[in-house]
Structure 1
Amino acid sequence: MLLPFIPEVGHFALILALMMALIQAVVPLAGAATRRPLWMAYARPMALGQFAFLLVAFASLMASFLFDDFSVAYVANNANSQLPWYYKATAVWGSHEGSMLLWCLMLAGWGCAVAGLSRRLPAALMARVLGVMGLVGSGFLLFVLLTSNPFTRLLPNVPGEGADLNPLLQDVGLIIHPPMLYMGYVGFSVVFAFAIAALLEGRIDAAWTRWARPWTNVAWAFLTVGIALGSWWAYYELGWGGWWFWDPVENASLLPWLAGTALLHSLAVTEKRGSFKSWTVLLAIFTFSLSLLGTFLVRSGVLTSVHAFANDPTRGAFILILLGLTVGGALTLFALRAPRVSQAVTFGWLSRDALLLVNNILLVVMTVTVLLGTLYPLILDALGLGKVSVGPPYFNALFVPLTALLCLFMGLGPVARWKRMPARELWRRLAGAALGAVVLAALAPLVYHGRWNPGVSLGLLLALWLVLSLARDLFDKLRHARSPGAGLRRLAPAYWGMQLGHLGLAVTIVGVTVVSNYNVERNVRMAVGDRVQLAGYTFALRSLDKRRGPNFVADVATLDVSRDGERRFTLHPEKRLYLARRMPMTDVALRPGLLRDLYVAMGEDLGDGAWALRIQYKPFVRWLWLGAALMAAGGVLAVADRRYRRGRGAQRCNDEVVTS
């Protein structure tokens, strides 16, 4: 029977995947260097084979979970026979070893996608791109096999029952958040490989940009969705309604997102104007390097975080060496070959080129700000200079003003012309948008809340400035068309992607501003029959009951929520105790809405039939994640542009079709 040998099948598949990754790393790169077509042709089949064997390994580990094979140490430590099957399946990436296997699988999947979807790529460039991805894949597969093997057995001392999955992870968030986040992290390996291939070849042109840009957009969109899902998961899972904590692990995902955003804009300038080539390559290196740094921070054991559920200090040195070799080698190659790919292109201080350059500088400064705030406590601790904590006051004091500056230039960028533009013309186009944003931002708090709030007005001013400048740009592009329909058809998907991305940021800013200033919260003691008033709603505790789940017992409160004397709906928050680990968890009750969330979490049993409850009214909190969804949709929509489906001889877009 094959079942007892499933872990061995998975382990052997991992070894075969490593062998194929090594061949993919060495032979195609050597073939490109010596101009040997046969050697270069190894790139595609090795990439496909590596992905196939990693898929076998991943399926083997999942089967071990589903069949409760507690002879596998990783399964015994992260599963239980009472665990629902869907959590058994997702427990595969619930801790360190399995999550690194998922990382390797996704890295191979991206390589497989490049091999299958980029057949028009010149053979030498394809060999170099897949060869670099093979090098990265080899490093991570070595890491898994040497330090983090998920198929290690406990024979002959097999436990009769598993320790269970961490209750924090027994949630739908585990099913969708890590895969999305990893798709973003690992996706930047593609543009990194394109950048290294360009340095090796000594050439970056518009065709290279058109090949690299779609992969960057898709990876950025995945990372955007992954960060948003992490924020949403923390919002309802931790029981106190926070959506961003400036936690070091959260920062680890924000860093490549900020650098990736700068990279998107830099690629647009390189494609359109042929400038920023060195800047684009350097950003590609930094973006993927920050993805690797995030892996090191989360998995090395140097951080303590509610998000760092899979860490081990003994593995940190291996990841640090891998990070050093990747970043050090890439930067050395950049220093040697960058002069060959750079090109001087002139532009005026007031032009789209200049404004995008300022935007990129601001994004890099924001990245460095977050990076320093994250690493500074670790560096001091490593040097024996004491322990310090860098928290929200530092990040808010620096990040918020930089975001405001970024939004100012983002509003100017779409309206400005390439190369140069008179200041008077730019002012004429945007004066109405600026005045409208100021007036509406000043009046909105008075209309919404009855009194003026400077913080809310500032946030709404930034959001309205972005929206109205986008509207002005769209108006300028349509006003000379024969008809609105004809004008809309002339605009490329990349343009609509830019519009959606900037609109998404504006929506997120509205959500952050409103919920941060108008959130209402009460911590109350309630027994059956008690009532509490909050933000115009009445919460009445009708009953306290107990229920048993598949692997937990729970106290359940039933609250009737009414408004204006009329009962509207019922909420059921829970306090759970997971039996295997004897770990308590809060399961919040949410009543979501486009304009507000009602949020109830159970605290502690206070005795005499009373419980501590936290009740919150959170206006516009959904706009945080709606904005992220719009940004991600914009990134994906831009890939639909017909230029990215053409070959090397693709013609450049018409000047009126703007991409950014």
Structure 2
Amino acid sequence: MIVEIGHYALTLALGLSVVQCVLPFWGARVRDPALMAVAAPAALGAFAAIAIAFAALTCAYIVSDFSVVNVVENSHSMKPFLYKISGVWGNHEGSMLLWVCILTLFGGVVALTRNSLPERLKALTLSVQASVTIAFLLFILFTSNPFARAVPAPFEGRDLNPLLQDVGLAVHPPLLYLGYVGFSISFAFAIAALIDGRIDAVWARAVRPWTLTAWVFLTLGISMGSYWAYYELGWGGWWFWDPVENASFMPWLAGTALIHSTVVMEKRDALKVWTILLAILTFSLSLIGTFLVRSGVLTSVHAFATDPERGTFILIILMIFIGGSLALFAWRAPMLRQGGIFAPISREGALVLNNLLLSTACATVFIGTLYPLALEGLTGGKISVGPPYFEMTFLPIAMPLIAIMPLGQTLAWKRGNLLGAAQRLMAAFALALALALVVLAVTRGGPVLALLGVGLGFFALFGSLSEIVTRSWSRGMPLSTAWRRARGLPRSAWGTAIAHAGIGVTVLGIAATAWGVESLAVVKPGETISAGHYALRLDGVTPYTAPTYRANVARFSVFRGGVPTGTLEAEKRLYTPRGMATTEAGLMTRGLGQLYVGLGEEDPTGGIGVRLYWKPFVLLIWIGTLVTAFGGGLSLTDRQLRIGAPARAKARRAQPGDGQADALATS
């Protein structure tokens, strides 16, 4: 009965989404407040219906209802409770249901915003968002029904893909979808602005919190996915430029450009057309990522579906929304009034350069990801585009981008002084150079790009923090006064500095991987394998049996300079329901570095293949991403992003009859 309720709730959500799409749109066209007011309750109703459907599917997983095909194929009665829950979205049908649930969640939150948006803009935004919901609900109901029944119902399920039975994969997809889907609100705002023919600072102030929220979640999702691939897949890497990895990275790059572009638009009323285009492209890249994962065109541990029918349906959705939005942009964008003027040497100019570099970097990833697929589709030929291509094209763009980041943050708005900004960054540059030389001396050399990365990472870190110091302290000022002024700075200033510093920390971690050490050997019990300053002795291999898998656990004693420092375990597992083998890497953290052990196949002589890595400072990669996400979250708490109060305050201060007052009063 619960399953039927979930299926009915999906159908009800489709009907409510149609109402949410059609009536507010028509109300905005004829300026009927009653019809526009339908948007909010319809959006909340659609979210409630899909939440019920998602809860029904979750309940089926918890009770192991094997009369549901989705549960049969992705669960097992003996599976741990956490993985029963994560199994809900660890498959194509369930993940699409989560996708739409988050989509309507964002729409519901927009619906709850009172007196902070012009009613016409709000109605059009929710109408556009509902059109996306309709498309994906039709996709779910016609090609990916998560409530399909299994007749007859089997006694036991096939279990979830063993690679997905991990805490990281319980968290990674929801975070990623909150990022992907969050950009749909930015897209909806952009399309609403094009339809309405009005885009101004009020629009920029409205769209920036949603963009920043989506970006923060996408940052966390990518970070979690990277760390999962690092410790779960057994190859010891943190990024492989896999097409599905790139599918999440491209909207992150475009979203980063969009955040900076909305800042320019809000502050200087400039880059209007470019900001609208970025909002469209960012969500379009999210849709392309959805297509890559679910169309069957890719073979990847990240990919869900291999059914061409589903791929065709999603391709039609892409054509409608990407093609339609770009056509609307081409028609309406020339009618938008251009904004303010600024000098090339200014903070706006630096942000424009930032946008150009980010867009170019995104384009290189896009070409490297889709070109092999396009070539195969057109000619049947197959080529592989791997890390060498991306390292040769992406890195030359990323390095100057990181270098100008502190400089742009230091320049003044409208017209800046390049020499003065450079002088304010001299201390940060000198400190970064000194530390890079220390690294050079300690490591007795190293790859040139790695040393350059170390210098850039330190410069980004210290340069970002120098902005806070510059704004809070001047020569001769007591530290107590400086601290008081620093505490009084807007949270957005702190958030920006922290987010940029986090990028610098991540760059340091990436550069440090060049000094990693790898050893590969066949080791028997009692023998040792070394990497860097560490030596591991294999103490033995013992079998272990769990409800859904059998494992051989290799136990190692760890020594540094002959002194015992602990033990480490790595496993080879065989999941019996699927007959699938996996490797569970062994990790030992020492400071900011890690020892990493991956097991290979057993040797006929009784030895076992062991791959040992020593990765100094590798944890900085993920620490930096967390710091960056924290900076973005801190910016979200700033009063400047609470769009209702400032608008109403300005409206109260404006004189009656003033054009600006009339525009702001509607907000």
TM-score, normalised on structure 2? Answer: 0.94
Which of 159-168 and 285-294 deviates more?
A: 159-168
**1:487 counterpart residue number:** 485
Partner SS for 1:414 = helix
**1:18 counterpart residue number:** 14
**2:581 counterpart residue number:** 584
- Alignment partners' CA distance in 1, 2:616 and 2:109: 41
- Report the CA distance between 1:91 and its aligned residue: 0.8
- Report the CA distance between 1:310 and its aligned residue: 3.4
Q: Is the 8 A contact 2:272 2:339 kept in 1?
A: no
1:138-184 per-position Cα deviation (integer Å, ceiling 9, x unaligned): 111010001110111122x2222211111111111221000000010
Q: Is the 8 A contact 2:464 2:498 kept in 1?
A: no
- The correspondence for 2:165, drawn from 157, 161, 170, is 170
Which of 498-507 and 158-167 deviates more?
A: 158-167
1:233-312 counterparts in 2 under 5 A? 233-312=228-307
1:533-589 per-position Cα deviation (integer Å, ceiling 9, x unaligned): 221122111121111112001111111112233221111111111011111111111
Q: Which amino acid aligns with 2:66?
A: F
- Alignment partners' CA distance in 1, 2:185 and 2:370: 26
- The correspondence for 1:476, drawn from 453, 470, 474, is 470
- Report the CA distance between 1:30 and its aligned residue: 0.9
- Report the CA distance between 1:118 and its aligned residue: 4.7
Asked whether 1:57 is paired with 2:56, we answer: no
Asked whether 1:466 is paired with 2:460, we answer: yes
Asked whether 1:79 is paired with 2:85, we answer: no
- Report the CA distance between 1:126 and its aligned residue: 1.3
- Report the CA distance between 1:304 and its aligned residue: 1.3
- The correspondence for 2:448, drawn from 444, 450, 454, is 454
- Alignment partners' CA distance in 2, 1:538 and 1:297: 43
Q: Is the 8 A contact 1:362 1:406 kept in 2?
A: yes
Q: Which amino acid aligns with 2:525?
A: V
The alpha-carbon distance between structure 1 residues 293 and 646, as it changes in their structure 2 partners (threshold 3 A), is closer
- Alignment partners' CA distance in 1, 2:650 and 2:620: 39
- The correspondence for 1:520, drawn from 517, 522, 532, is 517
- Report the CA distance between 1:385 and its aligned residue: 4.7
The alpha-carbon distance between structure 1 residues 452 and 581, as it changes in their structure 2 partners (threshold 3 A), is closer
Which of 475-484 and 266-275 deviates more?
A: 475-484
- Report the CA distance between 1:476 and its aligned residue: 2.1
- Alignment partners' CA distance in 1, 2:159 and 2:55: 20
**2:658 counterpart residue number:** none
- The correspondence for 1:627, drawn from 621, 624, 629, is 624
Q: Which amino acid aligns with 1:581?
A: R
Q: Is the 8 A contact 1:203 1:340 kept in 2?
A: no
Which of 140-149 and 410-419 deviates more?
A: 410-419
Q: Is the 8 A contact 1:445 1:456 kept in 2?
A: no
- Alignment partners' CA distance in 2, 1:486 and 1:317: 59
Query: What percentage of aligned pairs have identical amino acids?
Result: 48
Q: Is the 8 A contact 1:446 1:452 kept in 2?
A: no
TM-score, normalised on structure 1? Answer: 0.95
- The correspondence for 2:385, drawn from 386, 390, 393, is 390
- Aligned-residue Cα RMSD (Å) equals 1.6
Which of 437-446 and 529-538 deviates more?
A: 437-446
- Alignment partners' CA distance in 2, 1:594 and 1:86: 30
- Alignment partners' CA distance in 2, 1:606 and 1:477: 64
- Report the CA distance between 1:380 and its aligned residue: 0.7
Asked whether 1:96 is paired with 2:95, we answer: no
- Report the CA distance between 1:453 and its aligned residue: 4.1
Q: Which amino acid aligns with 2:456?
A: L
Asked whether 1:556 is paired with 2:553, we answer: yes
Q: Which amino acid aligns with 2:138?
A: L
Q: Which amino acid aligns with 2:24?
A: P
Gaps of 5+ in 2: 652-667
- Alignment partners' CA distance in 1, 2:108 and 2:591: 40
The alpha-carbon distance between structure 1 residues 25 and 594, as it changes in their structure 2 partners (threshold 3 A), is farther
Partner SS for 2:410 = coil
1:48-82 per-position Cα deviation (integer Å, ceiling 9, x unaligned): 11111111111111111122222211111111222
- Alignment partners' CA distance in 2, 1:72 and 1:453: 55
**1:195 counterpart residue number:** 190
**2:327 counterpart residue number:** 332
- Alignment partners' CA distance in 2, 1:393 and 1:160: 49
**1:529 counterpart residue number:** 526
- Alignment partners' CA distance in 2, 1:561 and 1:173: 26
- Report the CA distance between 1:490 and its aligned residue: 3.0
Q: Is the 8 A contact 1:511 1:624 kept in 2?
A: yes
- Alignment partners' CA distance in 2, 1:594 and 1:312: 46
- Alignment partners' CA distance in 1, 2:581 and 2:451: 41
Q: Is the 8 A contact 1:28 1:43 kept in 2?
A: yes
Q: Is the 8 A contact 1:594 1:623 kept in 2?
A: no
Q: Is the 8 A contact 1:96 1:311 kept in 2?
A: no
1:571-617 per-position Cα deviation (integer Å, ceiling 9, x unaligned): 11111110111111111111124421011121111134321111111
Q: Is the 8 A contact 1:111 1:190 kept in 2?
A: yes
Partner SS for 1:343 = coil
**1:658 counterpart residue number:** none
- Alignment partners' CA distance in 2, 1:293 and 1:160: 38
- The correspondence for 2:417, drawn from 416, 422, 426, is 422
Partner SS for 2:241 = coil
**2:131 counterpart residue number:** 135
**2:597 counterpart residue number:** 600
- Alignment partners' CA distance in 2, 1:121 and 1:505: 33
**1:657 counterpart residue number:** none
- Alignment partners' CA distance in 1, 2:425 and 2:231: 41
The alpha-carbon distance between structure 1 residues 83 and 471, as it changes in their structure 2 partners (threshold 3 A), is closer
**1:649 counterpart residue number:** 648
- The correspondence for 1:501, drawn from 499, 502, 505, is 499
The size of the alignment, in residue pairs, is 645
Q: Which amino acid aligns with 2:327?
A: T
- Alignment partners' CA distance in 2, 1:342 and 1:179: 39
Q: Which amino acid aligns with 1:321?
A: I
Q: Is the 8 A contact 1:442 1:452 kept in 2?
A: no
Q: Which amino acid aligns with 1:6?
A: I
Which of 110-119 and 517-526 deviates more?
A: 110-119
Which of 187-196 and 73-82 deviates more?
A: 73-82
Partner SS for 2:610 = strand
- Report the CA distance between 1:255 and its aligned residue: 0.5
- Report the CA distance between 1:489 and its aligned residue: 3.0
1:608-648 per-position Cα deviation (integer Å, ceiling 9, x unaligned): 43211111111111111111111111111111111222422
Q: Which amino acid aligns with 1:298?
A: V
**2:433 counterpart residue number:** 438
1:351-409 per-position Cα deviation (integer Å, ceiling 9, x unaligned): 11111101100100011100000110011111125111111110000111100111122
Q: Is the 8 A contact 1:598 1:615 kept in 2?
A: yes
Which of 394-403 and 428-437 deviates more?
A: 428-437
**1:656 counterpart residue number:** none
Q: Is the 8 A contact 1:27 1:40 kept in 2?
A: yes
Which 4+ stretches in 1 moved above 6 angstroms? none
- Alignment partners' CA distance in 1, 2:643 and 2:370: 43
Partner SS for 1:93 = coil
- Report the CA distance between 1:651 and its aligned residue: 5.3
- Alignment partners' CA distance in 2, 1:427 and 1:205: 33
The alpha-carbon distance between structure 1 residues 202 and 519, as it changes in their structure 2 partners (threshold 3 A), is same
- Alignment partners' CA distance in 2, 1:158 and 1:595: 50
- Report the CA distance between 1:475 and its aligned residue: 2.6
- Alignment partners' CA distance in 2, 1:423 and 1:95: 52
Q: Which amino acid aligns with 1:489?
A: R
- Alignment partners' CA distance in 2, 1:49 and 1:370: 39
- Report the CA distance between 1:119 and its aligned residue: 4.4
